[in-house]
Amino acid sequence: MEKPPVEVLITIPLAEDLLERLQSVSPRLKINQHITRRAEEISAEVWQRTEVLYTDVVLPDVTLVPNLRWIQFHWAGIEYVLESTLAKKPELTMTTLSGAAAPQMAEFILMMMLALGHRLPDLTVNQAKTEWPRDRWERFVPLELRGSTVGIIGYGSIGRELARLLRPFDVKALAVKRNLMDPYDHGYAIEGLGDPDGDLFTRLYPIQALQSVLKECDFVVVTLPLTAETRDIIGADELAAMKSSAYLIDACRGTVVNEEALLTALQEHKIAGAALDVFADEPLPPASPFWKLPNVFITPHISGISPAYDERAVALFGENIKRYLSGEKLFNKFDPEPGY
């Protein structure tokens, strides 16, 4: 007996060759691309027959999609889905794109660690002043990455790829993970990247030991998802636990690190500096005091940008489509309970 077709709706712009690659997965797929950011711009007829939705933020009311069985999101962080009526739809599977952005984000974090450790913010200011300072040996002495202790707070796809990149630097990698009993990576990972077996860190800690980890670190990298449990998880007490010579790199979500506490720590030199790609209020307002801090790199939430992102996204989506059609477990299934 011939199996029925699977109606796939894609709401983001994907190149024709990528759509063809998805179509080649199975002749059962009926792919419909409707580029929009508003659910109401898609007809009720299309919504009614859609079984698989690939989207970023386009979420219809649950009453419009009686046949919807699976949503593959274009992003890794999808905490906003909890506000949708779809979050409580029975037998609806939601999956994230965790792993697709890991290569570029890990590179970004590594770049920032090297830049902060080698005093690039100070060197940039010095260049603007056109100075060749007499005390350059003292002023620009680096904190070398080699042999340092790096705390990876959140050992998901990004943290695992960072651990792999750090191997040649002979660092002590202290990883913080929710479930210590399962160090393996069960999510999607690009072949040859990441830490699928969970053996590239020096030590693994539970989140309850966060302050103990922070006390040892020269660099603290925050890659946690935003959930009810992780909001403001790096606050005044955690920042106080860090070395005054340590740097913080935040490339996850703006409210995981408490901004008020971080601003105080940076202004009072309780930590040496930070690289911040995310903020609670984005775009960061021009009046924000973070802009004027000399010991901070500010980037406009671009750590996940890559010209290869769509290709990596389609590779992951394609693998999940194969699994969906064969009844296998999908990669990166979103669990509303913990929020990731």
Q: What residues act catalytically?
A: 253, 282, 301
| CA atoms within 13 A of residue 128's CA, in its CB half-sphere | 7
Rg (the chain; Cα; Å): 22
Q: Is the dihedral of CA 339, 152, 250, 267 positive or negative?
A: positive
CA distance 315 to 21: 9
Bridge partner residues of 321 (DSSP): none
Coil, helix or strand at residue 234: strand
Contacts of residue 263, defined as CB under 8 A and 6 or more positions apart, other chains included, come to 289, 290, 293
**Total Cβ atoms within 10 A of residue 6:** 18
End-to-end Cα spacing for the chain: 38
Side chain identity, residue 23: Q
DSSP string for 161-207:
HHHHHHGGGT-EEEEE-S-TT--S--S---TT-S-TTS-SSSEEE-G
